[in-house]
Amino acid sequence: MKQKLLLLSLSLLLLTFTKVNAQGYNTGVGFRAGGFENGLTIKHFVKSDTAIEGILGFRPGVFVVTGLYEKHATAFSEPSLKWYYGAGAHIGGIDDGRRYRRYFGDDEFYDKGLLLGADAILGLEWQMPEIPFTLGVDLHPRLELAKGPFLDIEPGFSLRFVF
């Protein structure tokens, strides 16, 4: 029985990898390292060229949840390379009045409170051949309204497992 279950699991895994390599991917889950927060990211395609992305970011004393709507297109005539752009919003909080560092500009000190604002993203993503992972780099401008207003541009790097 264990051998049949193992064989079935390996077969499903192989089918998943084959689909990923042949047709792109539907969903990717992974990590994002950014100029502000580091955290988790999930991207799901609702159409072949349209995705929604969620980012849960953390840094000492701060958490931020970001939602983005993104359009994707082939970059440099290479099917495994996609550029994308999009827009969305973020909400979060400062829980203990630590320094809230802006990427460009001086550090600013804020008391506890709400973070809320508008976001954009411009990036490039590479789907690795033969394995179900993507690497991405992006610029993530954000307009902070609740503690601002001010505009910052956060560079980021993502690694996702795709299926």
CA-wise closest residue to 24 among 52, 43, 50, 48: 48
Which residues, other chains included, contact 132 with Cβ-Cβ below 8 Å and sequence gap of 6+? Answer: 16, 17, 20, 25, 161, 162, 163
Task: Say which residue, 16 or 105, is predicted with more confidence.
Answer: 105
pLDDT at 139: 98
Residue among 98, 83, 135, 91 nearest 114 (CA): 91
Structure-model confidence comparison of residues 59 and 120, the more confident one: 120
Q: Are 27 and 45 in contact (CB under 8 A)?
A: yes
| CB-based burial, 116-128: b 16+ in 10 Å, e otherwise | bbebebebebebe
The dihedrals phi and psi of 148, each to the nearest 5 degrees, come to -120, -135
Task: Measure the CA–CA gap between 31 and 40, rounded to whole angstroms.
Answer: 5
Q: Which amino acid is at 89?
A: A
108 vs 37: which has the higher pLDDT: 37
Two structure tokens written together for 53? 């992305």
In this prediction, residues 107-134 reach a mean pLDDT of 89
- The answer to whether 21 and 129 are in contact (CB under 8 A) is yes
Question: What percentage of the chain has pLDDT greater than the value 70?
Answer: 77
For residue 149 the two structure tokens come to: 């207003």
Q: What is the amino acid identity at position 127?
A: Q
The region of weakest confidence among 6-15, 22-31, 70-79, 115-124 is 6-15
pTM (2 decimals)? Answer: 0.81
| CB-count burial class (<10 Å; 0-12, 13-18, 19+) for 36 | buried
pLDDT at position 102, please?
A: 60
The per-residue pLDDT for range 83-98, each reduced to its tens digit, is 999 999 999 998 876 5
Interval 17-72: pLDDT, tens: 444 443 489 999 999 999 889 999 999 999 999 999 999 999 888 899 999 999 99
